[in-house]
Structure 1
Amino acid sequence: MQADYLNLSRAQDLKNPKEKFLYRFFEIFPGFLSWGTLGGAFILSWLAPVVVAIFIIAFDLYWLLRISYLSFHQLASYKQMKKNLKIDWMEKLKSLNPPAGGKRWPEIYHLIILPMYKEGIDIVKPTLQALENSNYPQDKMIVVLATEERAGAFSQKLAKEIKGEFGKIFFRFLITVHPKDIPGEVAGKGSNQAWAAKIAKEKIIDPLKILYQNIIVSGFDIDTRVYPQYFACLTWHYLTAKSPLRSSYQPIPVYNNNIWRAPAFSRVISTSGTFWQMMQQERPEQLVSYSSHSLPFKIFEDIGFPSDIVSDDSRIFWKSYLAYDGDYKVVPLYYPVSMDAVMAKNLLGTALNQYKQQRRWAWGCENIPYVLYGFLKNKKIPLGEKFRHCLNLLDGFWSWATCALLIFFLGWLPLILGGEGFNISLLSYNLPRLTGQIMTVAMIGMVTAAIISMLLLPPRPVGSSPWKNLSMIFQWLLLPLTLIGFGTFPALDAQTRLMLGKPLGFWVTEKISPPPLGSNQKPNNQ
């Protein structure tokens, strides 16, 4: 029997006024902290400019050290990923000797759920082709094309066309239709996945009596294209994990499907997301499931996949962590899957879609009240673990919403608002020079990003100019603008909505079909 607090999505779900007030306080807190920081910096630059100036110097030094620390993790993660890409994981699986009574790899099935909305065949088909090209036996794959009733007849026609071409390749191929307007659900990927898993259980898993512990579920975005060794790598980690049934398995998302066609700012934002996930793989104690990832089917049965929130990918981790009293973690795979960078039909549309996607990801701040409230209710999780996770969550979303503005603009506020008394001081004279020098040294992080981004690129498309390679380097000059315009602003937007009690609905990222590919334009995962 699950505790009631595990299924909360917002304060309004609670009946007790005191409990509702507490949860509502936790919803307000992230936005209050971020806006309080920015407002406090503005006011104190006028009332206490010396204090703010000293804080600016200390803050910039802190970020210099943090960037150096994260760059080290980024390089280490990149090296491990390149190493894993060279390993023959299928051969490694075959040579694996399980302990007495342990599972053998031929027993493991993969349930692959592909939620789709109104994407075209040029988006859906390459995903199935990548599964077909996987070196893990296709007769151990159950593919579910999870469609939406609200997507209309076009989606159903496309799903049947895809099944006609790929249906006989896999052990089972199932099309599910997620009904619209189910009470209590938020329309989106999470509710669609939950429905698809339920139907797969009823129609395939239970009738065939496949053991739940022998099934790994991969919930993939419809544009996710796996590398040939992905499922072998995933299976190896599942069979060798210390607690396989109490773990999720996280690949590294790289946005190589359309990276050569995407605008520069979209490339920077997408690649920055890749880099963050690479850094997190090096810090598994902070790693939370994200986007396309895998987990044991038993989690679906024991806990259930969230269907009433937007940030379902991370919520399944926190729900499992609370349900298992802290005995749950994410295993880093150091292995990539390839996805689409944000693109629309024109530059303005791309910018708008990019903002909406970043805001949807920033809506993960809804996990803060869920986790804080859950930690108060769960007395079995060690206090130190609770403190560590709370600090990481709050720091992550606070930094997302404030740090770019603090770094790039706060240094000028005391000079503008501090008055004549501060402006004639030696500190006033040295402040912009000192912070500028610190930030110049911190550019090492941007240089590291530019180098690794070039190493991650797939082959340049046939017919494109060699000058395109230069744009892939100089695009990183846009980083300050992208950090603010597509980082700070959508994060503040999301936290403000949470603070005001105005929930964000799920927004499906538009997918633009590619032009005909040349022979070497295929992403490097095929």
Structure 2
Amino acid sequence: MGEDDLAVGVEETSVDSSLPISLSGADRKWYNWLKRLPALVDYITIIFCAIGPWLFFYVAMWALFAFLVCFQILSIMQGAYLLKGALALRKGVKEELPEILPKHYFAIVIPNYKEDLSTLRSTLDHYATFAWAKERFLVILGMEGGEAECEEKATTLESEYGDKFATVVHSVHPRGLPGETAGKHSNERFAGQFAYEHFVQDRAFDIDSIIVCSMDSDTLHTERYFMKIEAEMQKNPSHVYNTIFASPFYNYQNMYDPQVPGFNANFDQLWAMLSLGILARSNSEFKFPASSYCVPMRFLRDLDFWDGGPEGIAEDEHMALKAFFRNQWKGGNSHHL
């Protein structure tokens, strides 16, 4: 998966780590009803589509007409936002970034399960070419205990790339932890907690100096993405409390691989375009990151890292929602780069 180099979307929220996580009383009652609302709307819609034309023909036809009109309007709007995002990317690539000395560390979390060594090496080779790699990149290999040879694979990569980054370490996520479901979200939760304990608690890194990068095992951010984040962090240090740095993405590495079904490849490209259009919306206070994004360690800790249960799927959107609702609770604001 390729990542472009412009941090188009940034979510900013105010967080209080003392905010209660559990709900009770009336709030719990409303929560139980609201979490069932999406499924209820789906069921009603399916039933109406199945029997509506037979019982309420004209009502059903008007409803269909209204849906098609709304769909066309939203499609045109999304196309306009996509064009805006594409132009912003072209402009951003040519933008000269100020020459700055890095003050932050980038903790690159690479979750993986039964990935080929060639894939992981390709990813690490890419980041090893960056000017700040040896001094400022902390690589955390998020291994899975369910993979028999995960320790051997991690040790091999640590020995091969240990001198190319500030450090290369690994975590091993145990299988079957209570309340967890298997996936990127639970792997990253364990790896994120490991990174916090290893660097902040054990090695006394300043928590405000670490920015955690969530990604896939084959994500290739460009160097400008990190330079842009570094410049923004130095410009506004308060981002450590409340910011998610999102970037657009493009699935090009295996798009033409014959083993990838054509439907999947085309759908992923549509999703990439949708994501770019969402990040380009200047009139929206909320923008979903997709797949890969950066979060300051302090903010990540205050959000209690990623959620490892079924509610944590998809982890990128769920993390954005956690930040958003914390923001609404405390009355913060939102902006984009």
With normalisation by structure 1, the TM-score equals 0.55
Task: Report the CA distance shift for 1:25/1:45 in structure 2 as closer, same or farther (over 3 A).
Answer: same
Deviation string, structure 1 residues 187-237 (Cα, Å, up to 9, x no partner): 322222222222223333334432212211101111211223221122223
The one of 20, 28, 33 aligned to 1:25: 33
Structure 1 equivalent of residue 53 of structure 2: 45
Among 263, 269, 294, the residue aligned to 1:271: 269
Residue equivalent to 1:203: 198
Match of residue 5 from structure 2: none
Q: Deviations over 1:414-465 (max 9, x none)?
A: xxxxxxxxxxxxxxxxxxxxxxxxxxxxxxxxxxxxxxxxxxxxxxxxxxxx
Whether the aligned pair in 1 keeps the contact of 2:119 and 2:217 (CA below 8 Å) is yes
2:110 is aligned to: 114
CA–CA distance in 2 between the matches of 1:54 and 1:205? 60
**Identity, % of aligned positions:** 21
Aligned-partner Cα distance in 2 for 1:326–1:315: 19
Q: How far apart, in 2, do the equivalents of 1:174 and 1:330 lie?
A: 34
- Closer, same or farther in 2 for the Cα pair 1:277/1:242, shift >3 Å? farther
2:182, 2:65 → 1: CA distance?
Answer: 46
- Unaligned stretches of 5+ in structure 1? 8-13, 95-104, 333-526
Q: Retained in 1: the 8 A contact 2:214–2:292?
A: yes
Which of 307, 327, 332 is the matching residue for 1:327? 332
Deviation by residue 1:125-152 (Cα, 9 ceiling, x = unmatched): 1111111122434311111011111112
Distance in 1, Cα, partners of 2:176 & 2:73 = 49
8 Å CA contact 2:275–2:289 kept in 1: the answer is no
Larger radius of gyration: 1
Larger helix fraction of residues:
1
User: Deviations for 1:245-283, whole angstroms, at most 9, x for unmatched residues?
Assistant: 211010112101111224321221010110111111112
Aligned length: 311
How far apart are the structure 1 equivalents of 2:73 and 2:301?
44
Quick check: 1:288 aligned with 2:291? no
1:219 to 201, 205, 214: 214
1:460-475 superposed matches below 5 A: none
Superposition pairs of residues 230-269 of structure 1, within 5 angstroms:
230-240=225-235, 243-245=238-240, 246-261=242-257, 262-269=260-267
**Distance of 2:218 and 2:197 partners within structure 1:** 26
Letter in 1 for 2:250: V
1:314 aligned to 310, 317, 335, which one? Answer: 317
C-alpha distance 330-311 of structure 1, shift in aligned 2 (>3 A): farther
Partner SS, residue 190 of structure 1: helix
* Structure 2 gap ranges (5+): 1-16
Aligned match of 2:302: 302
| Aligned counterpart in structure 2 of residue 85 of structure 1, from 81, 93, 106 | 93
Relative contact order, higher structure (CA 8 A, sep 6+):
2
Structure 2 contact 102–230 (Cα < 8 Å) conserved: no
Letter of the 1:307 counterpart = G
- Is residue 248–residue 329 contact of structure 1 (8 Å, CA) maintained in 2? no
Q: Which amino acid is the alignment partner of residue 103 of structure 2?
A: E
- Which whole-Å deviations, capped at 9, do the CAs of 1:91-140 have from their partners, x for residues lacking one? x242xxxxxxxxxx521111111111111112211111111122434311
CA distance in 1, matches of 2:69, 2:85: 24
**Secondary structure in structure 1 of the residue aligned to 2:176:** coil
Report the counterpart of residue 65 of structure 1 in structure 2: 73
Per the alignment, residue 2 of structure 1 pairs with: 18
Q: CA separation of 1:257/1:241 partners in 2, compared to 1, >3 Å: closer, same or farther?
A: farther
Alignment check: 8 A CA contact 2:133 2:164 kept: no
Q: What amino acid is aligned across from residue 313 of structure 1 in structure 2? A: D
Please state how far the C-alpha of 1:24 moved relative to its aligned partner: 3.1
Q: Aligned in 2, Cα 1:331/1:155: closer, same or farther, shift over 3 Å?
A: farther
Q: Alpha-carbon deviations, 1:381-438, whole Å to 9, x = none?
A: xxxxxxxxxxxxxxxxxxxxxxxxxxxxxxxxxxxxxxxxxxxxxxxxxxxxxxxxxx
User: For the residues of structure 2 that align with 1:265 and 1:330, how far apart are their CA atoms?
Assistant: 35
